[in-house]
Structure 1
């Protein structure tokens, strides 16, 4: 029973991902402004919140830490496109979030603006991954 549900969820999440990715991609190059939530400038959690709200109508918590706390944790091996990538000192001190888009890359809002970049960059520490429940 569990595997049938997973297969259905995966098909649905792929559809969901296309919608989320389309919104995220459309914002590449937007400037970073601390505290900004769109639609023309973003901070990291403002960006992920904007993308989910404007693609699937899902409201995420406002900060990267709160988004981590509210997400369904997944391991690196179970990371799927559309999942959130959390960066910080530890799971209790998360200061950055991006959205995984496949091939080891995420789209995130950081000081160079909204960019696509590798999740495993030498200048930060990935502390966890979270799946956004799209079934609510």
Structure 2
């Protein structure tokens, strides 16, 4: 009898823990990327678990965390509404950006034969579980605006290189550096935003993570 009771109590505890940890309700200020990081999931995994095609989430939406442990559930539940720093995401962003460095630049390209600037940012952010529009101008319309003084690793940075508004996009990596597909150099690479060329053509930034 005691053994049976112990088994029942153990099963109940496991069920309770799983039920507690299986979902997370989105709060104001949350991003899918934050939630994935706190739940020890890749953003792409979280997208797949919830059948999402983009990183857009709504306050009050319940996200399936895939039955993570109780300790993780507590951590996720305590995500701050407005994170003070993005420094913890820097290595993840750099790793995603590095996967597509030294690829040949091809205007309009988005495959193995070569890619352009917006195809590069799309490829990088796909690794982070975020779906971006195809063109630089369209990408300038997603996420939220960020001032130049508040740039964080993972922000999209935009430039006017043709004289007609937004025409180029890259991924900010921190310390004044950004990764982009450079048509002049003919490849994807990391550069400094402080050079005269980029500094004078800078338009703005958007935060999607």
TM-score by length of 1: 0.80
Per-residue displacement from partner, 1:42-89 (whole Å, max 9, x unpaired)?
A: 100000011101x12211011111101113100011110010110017
**Residue 106 (structure 2) aligned to one of 13, 17, 33:** 33
Distance 1:99 1:43 in 2: 13
**Of the two structures, which has the highest relative contact order with CA contacts closer than 8 Å and spacing of 6 or more?**
1
Matching residue within 114, 120, 128 for 2:204? 128
Residue 193 of structure 2: which of 100, 107, 119 is its match?
A: 119
State the Cα distance separating 1:35 from its structure 2 match. Answer: 1.1
Please list, as runs of the form range in 1=range in 2, the aligned pairs for 1:46-57 lying within 5 A after superposition. Answer: 46-53=119-126, 55-57=127-129
Any unmatched runs of 5+ in structure 2? 1-27, 30-79
- Secondary structure of the 2:191 match is strand
Aligned length: 127
Match of 1:86 in 2: 158
- Give the gaps of 5 or more residues in structure 1: none
Q: Is the Cα contact below 8 Å between 2:96 and 2:124 reproduced in 1?
A: yes
Q: Structure 1 or 2: larger strand share?
A: 1
RMSD between superposed Cα atoms in Å:
2.5
Which of 75, 86, 93 is 1:20 aligned to? 93
Cα distance in structure 2, aligned partners of 1:69 and 1:31 = 27
Using the size of structure 2 for normalisation, the TM-score is 0.54
What displacement does 1:126 show? 0.2
Is 1:35–1:43's contact at 8 Å kept on the other side of the alignment? yes
1:39 Cα deviation after fit: 4.7
